[in-house]
Amino acid sequence: MYKQSLAVLFAMAALAGCASTTLQNPVDYATYRNEPLVKQVEDGMTEQQVLTIGGEPSTRVHRKVHPGTCNNYILNKEGHQQAYYVTFGANDRVDSKGFMTCEQREANERAM
C-alpha cells in the first residue's frame, strides 16, 4: 500500500510539473497554505491589494525575462523560513506566485 501511494504521489508531481512552469513543493504549500499571501493573493490582483495583504516585501526586483516587477517575501512559521514570490506583469497585476525567490523564478524562466 505504501509503495502504491508513493507511486501515485510521484506521478501527480510529474504531471503537475508538466502543467506549470514552476514546480511547487507540496510540503511548502501544506505548511504555509494559511499564510495570508498564500491563501488570499490571486492572479489579477493589483500590487496595492497584495501590499495590503502581505505588507512590504523583503525586496522588489525588476523582471528581466518579462516586463514587470517581482516582490520577494519571507514566510515564517514555527521558526522555519520560506521564500515566496509574487510577480506583477506590465499591467501591475499579479501574474504568478510561488515558493521560491524572484531570482530563482527568473533563472527558471531563462532556462525554459
pTM of structure: 0.76
What's the domain count of the chain? 1
Decide which of 81 and 16 is more confident. Answer: 81
CA 4, chain centre distance (Å): 29
The pLDDT tens digits for 32-55 are 999 999 999 999 999 999 999 999
Indicate whether 7 belongs to any domain. Answer: no
Residue 40 belongs to a domain with what CATH number?
3.30.1450.10
Structure-derived torsion over alpha carbons of residues 55, 61, 65, 66, reported in degrees to the nearest 10: 50
Confidence of residue 109 (pLDDT cuts 50, 70, 90): confident
pLDDT (0 to 100) of residue 1: 52
pLDDT (0 to 100) of residue 103: 95
Q: Which of 18-22, 25-29, 87-91 has the lowest mean pLDDT?
A: 18-22
Indicate whether 37 belongs to any domain. Answer: yes
For residue 21, pLDDT over 80 is answered with no
